[in-house]
Chain A
Amino acid sequence: MITTKILIGYAIYLPIAIYLTLYVSKTLFKNGKIYMLDIFQGREDIALATNKLFETGFYLLNIGFALLILELQLTSNNYQELIEKLTYKIGGFSIYLGIMLFINLFLFFRGKRKSSALKKQTAHGNL
């Protein structure tokens, strides 16, 4: 039956999508703490707070998108179409996650560049 195949598709897609976002987010923001500590020059609680805020935004954005694209339409009653559509969706979501990861990395680097420019400016201003 088509409906059971669609249910199987949802039961495969949801855990994979949620697990991928959790994994990417944990890795990104576990290593991002070190960047934040560097940008905020050792003020540990502000660094952790900013990291936590960006992590929350990342979770919200990606889980929202994963749930948005959940709907699966099957036109024929065979597993081939299910596998094709499912893998297309999971692949597209992975590409989107990669793009989000790179955008966040870019924001980290830009923050680091601005903070080191500010540090150089105040060092020259003190001389």
Chain B
Amino acid sequence: MNLNIIGYGIYLTLTTIIIYHVGNICYNNGNIFIKHLLKKDIALSFQINKLLLIGYYLLNIGYSAITIIQWNTINSEIILIETITKKISIIILTIAVLHYSNIYLIKKFIHKLT
């Protein structure tokens, strides 16, 4: 009997929670930026922001779920802790890299909009 299923459960729960919260923080602050920086088509931008949030959920939760296929067999609790932390850290670091590159791209292209 191996502990893979417990690992899958913990990993999926934690990843979904993290993706949901980071997504909502970026969505809410994005709305604040839209209100301040765009002068026309504000309502349309709010809807686009909401759609982007839903797309972000789907992509990220889907990607973090797909990587389950590559897990090795987990036989003891120590390997369980190590595998879960390694997989979660890969997801968190990917989200961090995308987050900072979003900030950079927005800073670069915001002048073309206003």
Q: How far is the CB of A104 from chain B (nearest CB, A)?
A: 11
Query: Do B99 and A57 have beta carbons less than 8 Å apart?
Result: yes
Residue of A nearest to B76 (CB): A3
For residue A15, CB closer than 8 A to chain B, the reply is no
Query: Do A71 and B26 have beta carbons less than 8 Å apart?
Result: no
Query: Do A68 and B86 have beta carbons less than 8 Å apart?
Result: yes
- Partner of A70 from the list B22, B82, B90, B99 (CB cut-off 8 Å) is B82
A61 to B103, CA, bound (A): 14
Residue count of chain B within 8 Å CB distance of chain A: 25
Q: How far is the CB of A65 from chain B (nearest CB, A)?
A: 7
- Partner of A53 from the list B29, B86, B95 (CB cut-off 8 Å) is B29
B residues with CB within 8 A of A: 22, 25-26, 28-29, 32-33, 36, 76-78, 81-82, 85-86, 88-90, 92-93, 95-96, 99-100, 103
A residues with CB within 8 A of B: 3, 6-7, 10, 43, 45-46, 49-50, 52-54, 56-57, 60-61, 63-68, 70-71
Contacts A60-B22, A61-B96, A66-B89 known; 9 new A-B pairs at CB < 8 A: A3-B76, A45-B32, A45-B36, A52-B29, A53-B29, A60-B99, A64-B89, A67-B85, A70-B82
